[in-house]
Chains A and B, each alone.
Chain A
Amino acid sequence: GENVEQHPSTLSVQEGDSAVIKCTYSDSASNYFPWYKQELGKRPQLIIDIRSNVGEKKDQRIAVTLNKTAKHFSLHITETQPEDSAVYFCAPYSGAGSYQLTFGKGTKLSVIP
């Protein structure tokens, strides 16, 4: 199965600074790379995703970059705000047909006002 590692496990940044979270995976056949944001006690929400035929995708303050050769993809949040504080999970797609996701261990992001 897919082996997913996510770094760092915790990240504190000053409001307005940028945050970067990296996810490495083992299955070279993976072709779908989403990032989820989970606030305490709530459901994970998809914030951005990228497919293997694209190297970078941006949505306002959030971007994802993919390096298929090195088998890692990263979440970039610019101009961080207190409401960005949450746990972020990467979940590369590791199976065929059913879109069974393997979640990373998560990164707790704290944005300090």
Chain B
Amino acid sequence: GAVVSQHPSWVICKSGTSVKIECRSLDFQATTMFWYRQFPKQSLMLMATSNEGSKATYEQGVEKDKFLINHASLTLSTLTVTSAHPEDSSFYICSARLAGGRGELFFGEGSRLTVL
């Protein structure tokens, strides 16, 4: 099946710093990727839809200036958490749709962010 790789798996940073998370589709091209955030014991909440070559579409309540998304190629989308604060600590997961397939989404391994 299609493989989506996410990096890093774990990251700890100081409050006020920025963190970049990468999401790569390894064996297919993904024109659309999705970024989710998952707090402990909660469901996945869609943050934004990342479109290759254009601006991301953010969900209501998600600050686009804080969560910068770049989808510069058909295999890479990045999420940058700017000026991170402890409340940004969460599990961030990306997914990509396999074009031409049944439409199912494939998920990255997730990135656990801890902001001290």
Contact = CB atoms under 8 A, between A and B. Distances in A.
Interface of A: 32, 34, 41-46, 49, 89, 93, 98-106
Nearest to B109: A43
A45 B3 CA distance: 12
A43 B94 CA distance: 9
B42 A43 contact: no
A6 B44 CA distance: 13
- The main secondary structure of chain B at its interface with chain A is strand
Given A32-B103, A99-B105, A89 B43 contact: yes
Q: Determine which residue in B42, B108, B112 has the highest number of CB atoms from chain A within 10 A of its CB, and name it.
A: B42
A98 B91 CA distance: 23
- The main secondary structure of chain A at its interface with chain B is loop
B107 to A, nearest CB: 4
Q: Determine which residue in A45, A49, A101 has the highest number of CB atoms from chain B within 10 A of its CB, and name it.
A: A101
B49 A103 contact: no
B46 A49 contact: no
